[in-house]
């Protein structure tokens, strides 16, 4: 049995501005950013993949709890990853982050 390919920033870039629907749930998050930090070659050797993070936006008030979720994306893609609500300055939405390193 082969191991699945580790997720990378390039898996998510085509899905910017698309809705990620929690499978079997009511929450939907919109992918707003795919962030890849600048690392030196020495720092890159510390990781098994290039680290990156995803920033999502969801509605205010109905906060998705921190945890591992399966998401179905508009257009047919599906992913599973851990997401957390993060401090959001605006009161009109709630931001979330998923970190991969």
Residues 51-98: tens digit of each pLDDT: 899 999 999 988 999 999 999 999 889 999 999 999 999 999 999 999
In this predicted structure, what is the pLDDT of residue 35? 95
Looking at the domain assignment, is residue 3 inside a domain? no
pTM: 0.87
Looking at the domain assignment, is residue 26 inside a domain? yes
What is the domain range of residue 69?
A: 9-100
Q: How many structural domains compose the chain?
A: 1
Looking at the domain assignment, is residue 2 inside a domain? no
The helix/strand/coil state of 14 is: helix
Looking at the domain assignment, is residue 84 inside a domain? yes
Looking at the domain assignment, is residue 70 inside a domain? yes
Looking at the domain assignment, is residue 1 inside a domain? no
Looking at the domain assignment, is residue 72 inside a domain? yes
Q: 9: phi > 0 → left, psi -120 to 50 → alpha, else beta; which?
A: alpha
The helix/strand/coil state of 21 is: strand
Q: Is 52 exposed, middle or buried (0-12, 13-18, 19+ CB in 10 A)?
A: buried
Rounded to whole angstroms, the Cα distance separating 92 from 75 reads 26
């Amino acid at each position: 049995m082969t191991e699945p390919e580790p997720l990378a920033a390039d898996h998510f870039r085509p899905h910017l501005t698309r809705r990620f629907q929690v499978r079997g749930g009511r929450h939907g998050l919109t992918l707003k950013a795919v962030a890849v930090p600048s690392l030196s070659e020495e720092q890159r050797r510390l990781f098994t993949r290039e680290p990156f993070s995803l920033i999502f936006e969801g509605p205010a008030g109905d906060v998705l709890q921190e945890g591992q979720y399966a998401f179905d994306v508009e257009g047919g893609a599906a992913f599973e990853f851990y997401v957390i609500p993060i401090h959001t300055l605006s009161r009109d939405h709630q931001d979330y982050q998923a970190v991969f390193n």
